[in-house]
DNA sequence: GCCGTTTTCGGCCCGACTGTTTTCAGTCG
């Protein structure tokens, strides 16, 4: 279908002011590199026993630069480095030094002073900066193997505040460290969470139970599973928790919380408090840590001390209890901040200013614009797909099977595609209030051309374009392919723009900022692929797209009717990207969507 | 090292659990 021309002056203006191509190539890579160095510096300074607030300052600056929406090099050129929250004179100077010379002197010195391997020791549970420094000073331990030897040879127990138990625990921690896995994708954590909730739900004395932490915030991966419960007999609940059949190791256990390991490497934390503290404790345990720290700082400014137990008036010591976290935020003068936003990425400032977005919800979705069918490698007839879609309250589905060069996935020949278009047309005649869109997921070939000729694309209701082959090309080549697809007037949507598979495959070498600039110029829609392995665009880039005014669609890329339900994963990404319903094209009813696809 | 509708100095979130301690530092959430 024909895409619309640039819709507003904003798009054209931005295109003119766009970044020069040499900068585009490295955009956001520098942000990542500098953030990494600052994180490293924080650890190295910590090992040197530096002031802890200095360390916090470095970590905070690193985080701010990591989640920056602009290219740090542009920020520098505009003389705005110190406008980044957490970046002051000293760190701004270091950033400038890095951008000018490619290195940071003080960082080089820190690295040279510190044996390689020492910072890795901080990854071992229970090993903090003080212990690492002590074992390095007294025993010359500089890496994991030496730490293990020191423990096995009982050399650690002779040091102050060390003992036999400590040694044994270090050995256990080293073992866990060596078996450690990466962060767990949300959808992998989901059944584990459900199982634990089910199990604990049956324990007598348990009142309320829910999942918190990064899982509740909808992060794409979680580092552990955080469960919150209220009970007036917490010890009994903790006891039952550590006795769960799936528990392989108990890391710690007290009257209010416990941590265990299940499934070899998955840590589960359980926290229990009295129900009167429910509002504050769910706020606390949902996090993020950075959000909590900032909120607690704000509370202090307002004369309160906020903990998981209560909001306490500092002046009088009076404790206020809340049933709901909304009320905690309200008492601090803030509107409710949805968990997906709680990353200290400006949400508290936005809340204070009354400028929080009204986040898109699953109920806002009116259709799915990237769905496979039995015509290619998917399962499901038109009837089955339409029925599943209508069950979800949808008004339309974009039926997008593969193109010929994706032969392994049953890509359709031109003839087959035309048959499909005819079949869809016939199908639609029997429909009332539902429309199947005859589409394609056309491959963007290695040379940047599309896998169907224009006259075929023109006959589709919907054209989704994406990269499947030659994923190892250079950034310049990948960008060239994506941008030429964007510039093809028939292409409506770019699917899974970076190609990453969570935990399995890195993104292509792609400069997404430049791709988004191009999409803004043409009004091409960028996909948030909701498949929980993909989530592509991710939350960060979804927010960049939002801020740039690039339209977004949330699509499941379903290969079977029941996969349409995966939409909820994409919704979480969109919400974490601050997107409102109006910024997501498939919240539009059919009649408002069609003009976007066809002038 | 950063920051400021109380501040340019003096704060920077607050609490649980462990192992060692005889009163608490270190680590983690
Ligand atoms: N106030 C405060 N809360 C914290 C701190 N550390 C953790 N929390 C709270 C907020 C976290 O979301 C929650 C669970 O801690 P986790 O270490 O499991 O972090 P989270 O789940 O956010 O991320 P994860 O995916 O597990 O790495 O506990 C802290 O230092 N201060
Ligand atoms: Mg967690
Ligand atoms: Mg945790
Ligand atoms: Zn697909």
Q: Is the pLDDT of residue A33 over 50?
A: yes
Measured CA A54 to C1' B12 distance, in angstroms: 10
Q: Is the pLDDT of residue A2 over 70?
A: no
pLDDT > 90: what percent of chain A?
93
Measured CA A174 to C1' B3 distance, in angstroms: 40
Per-residue confidence at A409, pLDDT binned at 50, 70, 90?
confident
Query: For residue A64, what are its two tokens?
Result: 């701010």
Q: Is the pLDDT of residue A419 over 90?
A: yes
Looking at residue A399, what is its pLDDT? 97
Nearest nt to the A85 alpha carbon by C1': B2
Query: Does the Cβ of A434 fall within 6 Å of ligand 1?
Result: no
Question: Contact, A299 vs A311, CB < 8 A?
Answer: yes
Nearest to A395 by CA among A113, A160, A592, A166: A592
Taking residues A464-471, report their average pLDDT.
Answer: 97
> Can you tell me which residue has its alpha carbon closest to the C1' of nucleotide B21?
A161
Query: Does the Cβ of A288 fall within 6 Å of ligand 1?
Result: yes
- Average pLDDT of chain A? 94
> Can you tell me which residue has its alpha carbon closest to the C1' of nucleotide B15?
A307
Cα separation values, A393 from A247, A408, A483, A550, A598, Å: 41, 33, 34, 26, 24
Taking residues A521-535, report their average pLDDT.
Answer: 98
Half-sphere exposure in the Cβ direction for A508 (13 Å, CA) = 29
A440 CA to centre of ligand 2 in angstroms? 40
Query: For residue A14, what are its two tokens?
Result: 């931005």
Measured CA A365 to C1' B24 distance, in angstroms: 55
Q: Is the pLDDT of residue A24 over 70?
A: no
Looking at per-residue pLDDT, the higher value among A32 and A17 belongs to: A32
Please, where are the H alpha helices in A355-440?
382-391, 414-429
Per-residue confidence at A31, pLDDT binned at 50, 70, 90?
very high
Write out which nucleotides of chain B lie closer than 7 A to a protein Cβ: 1-3, 6-7, 11-21, 25-29
Q: Which atom of ligand 1 is nearest to the CA of A269?
A: 18
Per-residue confidence at A408, pLDDT binned at 50, 70, 90?
confident
Single pTM value for the model: 0.94
Among the bound ligands, name the one nearest to the CA of residue A220: 1
Mutate to test the pocket of ligand 1, among A189, A269, A287, A294 (most ligand atoms within 8 A of CB): A287
CATH no. of A29-181: 1.10.150.110
A373 CA to centre of ligand 1 in angstroms? 42
Residue A390: phi and psi, rounded to 5, are -70, -30
Architecture of domain A184-273 in this structure:
2-Layer Sandwich (3.30)
Give the separation between CA A271 and CA A160, rounded to whole angstroms: 32
Per-residue confidence at A28, pLDDT binned at 50, 70, 90?
confident
Pairing of strands A367-371, A396-402: parallel
Q: Give the Cβ contact number of residue A474 at 10 Å.
A: 11
Going by CA atoms, what residue is nearest to atom 4 of ligand 1? A289
Q: Which atom of ligand 1 is nearest to the CA of A183?
A: 25
Query: Does the Cβ of A339 fall within 6 Å of ligand 1?
Result: no
Going by CA atoms, what residue is nearest to atom 31 of ligand 1? A289
Supply the angle between the helices A89-101 and A105-113 in degrees, to the nearest 10.
90
Query: For residue A105, what are its two tokens?
Result: 């002197």
Give the separation between CA A543 and CA A390, rounded to whole angstroms: 30
- A405's CB contacts (< 8 A; 6+ apart) are A411, A443, A445, A451, A468, A469
Residue pLDDT, tens place only, A232-270: 999 999 999 999 999 999 999 999 999 999 999 999 999
Going by CA atoms, what residue is nearest to atom 26 of ligand 1? A223
Q: Is the pLDDT of residue A310 over 80?
A: yes
Looking at residue A25, what is its pLDDT? 36
Looking at residue A1, what is its pLDDT? 62
Query: For residue A426, what are its two tokens?
Result: 């016939």
Please, where are the H alpha helices in A346-413?
347-352, 382-391
- Which residues lie across from A252 on neighbouring strands? A259
Taking residues A200-219, report their average pLDDT.
Answer: 96
Question: SS3 string of A552-583?
Answer: EEEECCECCHHHHHHHHHHHHHHHHCCCEHHH
Quote ipTM for the complex: 0.97
Taking residues A475-483, report their average pLDDT.
Answer: 97
Measured CA A161 to C1' B21 distance, in angstroms: 8
Going by CA atoms, what residue is nearest to atom 2 of ligand 1? A289
Measured CA A533 to C1' B19 distance, in angstroms: 42
Q: Is the pLDDT of residue A22 over 80?
A: no
Taking residues A51-58, report their average pLDDT.
Answer: 96
Query: For residue A77, what are its two tokens?
Result: 């050129």
Percentage helix, strand, coil, to 5, in chain A?
Answer: 50, 15, 35
- CATH fit for domain A277-352, picks 3.40.1350.10, 3.40.50.2300, 3.30.210.10, 3.40.50.1820: 3.30.210.10
Nearest to A42 by CA among A53, A30, A29: A53
Measured CA A513 to C1' B20 distance, in angstroms: 54
Going by CA atoms, what residue is nearest to atom 27 of ligand 1? A223
Per-residue confidence at A410, pLDDT binned at 50, 70, 90?
confident
Nearest to A548 by CA among A516, A524, A570, A522: A516
- A486's CB contacts (< 8 A; 6+ apart) are A494, A515, A518, A519, A522, A524
- Which residues lie across from A552 on neighbouring strands? A526, A584
Residue pLDDT, tens place only, A312-332: 999 999 999 999 999 999 999
Nearest nt to the A267 alpha carbon by C1': B29
- A245's CB contacts (< 8 A; 6+ apart) are none
Nearest nt to the A50 alpha carbon by C1': B1
Query: Does the Cβ of A214 fall within 6 Å of ligand 1?
Result: yes
- A174's CB contacts (< 8 A; 6+ apart) are A124, A144, A147, A148, A151
Looking at residue A181, what is its pLDDT? 87
Q: Give the Cβ contact number of residue A149 at 10 Å.
A: 13
Residue pLDDT, tens place only, A496-510: 999 999 999 999 999
Query: Does the Cβ of A223 fall within 6 Å of ligand 1?
Result: yes
Q: Is the pLDDT of residue A19 over 50?
A: no
Measured CA A301 to C1' B11 distance, in angstroms: 12
- A381's CB contacts (< 8 A; 6+ apart) are A373, A374
In this structure, the dihedral spanned by the alpha carbons of residues A196, A198, A200 and A205, taken in order and rounded to 10 degrees, is: 160
Prior bond to A288 cis, omega within 30?
Answer: yes
Per-residue confidence at A9, pLDDT binned at 50, 70, 90?
very low
Query: For residue A482, what are its two tokens?
Result: 């994506």
Nearest nt to the A254 alpha carbon by C1': B17
Q: Is the pLDDT of residue A82 over 60?
A: yes
Query: For residue A233, what are its two tokens?
Result: 């007999």
Looking at residue A382, what is its pLDDT? 96
Q: Is the pLDDT of residue A145 over 50?
A: yes
Ranges of each domain in chain A: 29-181, 184-273, 277-352, 362-597
Specify the fold of A362-597: TIM Barrel (3.20.20)
A294 CA to centre of ligand 4 in angstroms? 41
Question: Contact, A332 vs A341, CB < 8 A?
Answer: no
Q: Which atom of ligand 1 is nearest to the CA of A214?
A: 21
Query: What's the DSSP call for residue A492?
Result: -
């Amino acid at each position: 279908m024909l895409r619309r021309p640039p819709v507003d002056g904003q798009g054209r203006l931005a295109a003119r002011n766009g970044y020069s191509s040499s900068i585009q190539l490295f955009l956001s890579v520098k942000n990542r590199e500098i953030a990494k160095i600052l994180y490293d510096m924080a650890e190295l300074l910590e090992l040197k026993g530096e002031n802890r607030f200095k360390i916090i300052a470095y970590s905070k600056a690193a985080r701010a630069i990591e989640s920056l929406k602009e290219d740090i090099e542009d920020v520098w050129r505009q003389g705005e480095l110190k406008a980044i929250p957490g970046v002051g004179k000293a760190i701004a100077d270091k950033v400038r030094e890095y951008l000018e010379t490619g290195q940071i002197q003080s960082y080089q010195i820190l690295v040279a002073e510190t044996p390689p391997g020492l910072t890795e020791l901080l990854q071992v549970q229970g090993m903090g900066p003080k212990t690492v420094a002590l074992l390095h000073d007294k025993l010359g331990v500089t890496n994991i193997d030496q730490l293990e030897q020191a423990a096995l040879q009982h050399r650690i127990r002779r040091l102050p505040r060390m003992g036999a138990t400590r040694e044994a625990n270090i050995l256990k921690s080293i073992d866990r460290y060596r078996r450690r896995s990466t962060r767990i994708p949300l959808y992998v954590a989901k059944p584990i969470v459900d199982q634990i909730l089910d199990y604990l739900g049956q324990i007598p004395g348990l009142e309320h139970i829910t999942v918190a932490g990064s899982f509740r915030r909808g992060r794409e991966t979680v580092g552990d599973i955080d469960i919150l419960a209220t009970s007036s007999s917490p010890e009994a609940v903790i006891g039952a928790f550590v006795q769960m059949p799936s528990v392989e190791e108990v890391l710690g256990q007290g009257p209010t919380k416990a941590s265990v390991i299940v499934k070899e490497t998955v840590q589960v934390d359980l926290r229990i408090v009295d129900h009167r503290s429910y509002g504050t404790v769910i706020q606390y345990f949902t996090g993020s840590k950075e959000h909590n720290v900032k909120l607690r700082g704000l509370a202090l400014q307002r004369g309160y001390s906020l903990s998981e137990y209560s909001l306490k008036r500092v002046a009088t010591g009076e404790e206020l209890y809340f049933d709901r976290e909304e009320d905690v935020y309200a008492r601090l003068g803030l509107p409710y901040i949805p968990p997906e936003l709680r990353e200290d990425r400006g949400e508290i400032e936005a809340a204070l200013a009354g400028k929080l977005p009204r986040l898109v919800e699953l109920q806002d979705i009116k259709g799915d614009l990237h769905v496979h069918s039995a015509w290619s490698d998917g399962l499901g007839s038109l009837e089955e797909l339409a029925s599943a879609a209508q069950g979800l309250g949808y008004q339309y589905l974009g039926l997008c099977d593969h193109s010929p060069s994706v032969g392994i996935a049953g890509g359709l020949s031109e003839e087959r595609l035309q048959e499909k278009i005819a079949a869809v047309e016939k199908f639609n005649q029997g429909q009332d209030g539902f429309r199947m869109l005859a589409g394609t997921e056309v491959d963007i070939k290695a040379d940047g051309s599309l896998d169907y000729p224009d006259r075929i694309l023109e006959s589709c209701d919907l054209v989704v374009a994406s990269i499947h082959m030659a994923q190892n090309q250079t950034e310049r080549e990948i960008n060239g392919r994506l941008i030429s697809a964007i510039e093809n007037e028939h292409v409506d949507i770019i699917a899974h723009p970076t190609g990453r598979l969570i935990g399995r495959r890195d993104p292509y070498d792609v400069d997404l900022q430049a791709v988004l600039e191009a999409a803004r110029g043409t009004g091409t829609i960028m996909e948030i692929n909701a498949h929980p392995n993909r989530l592509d665009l991710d939350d960060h880039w979804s927010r960049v797209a939002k801020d740039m005014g690039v339209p977004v669609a949330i699509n499941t890329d379903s290969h079977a009717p029941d996969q349409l339900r995966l939409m909820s994963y994409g919704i979480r990404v969109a919400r974490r990207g601050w997107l409102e319903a109006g910024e997501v094209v498939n919240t539009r009813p059919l009649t408002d969507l069609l003009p976007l696809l066809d002038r």
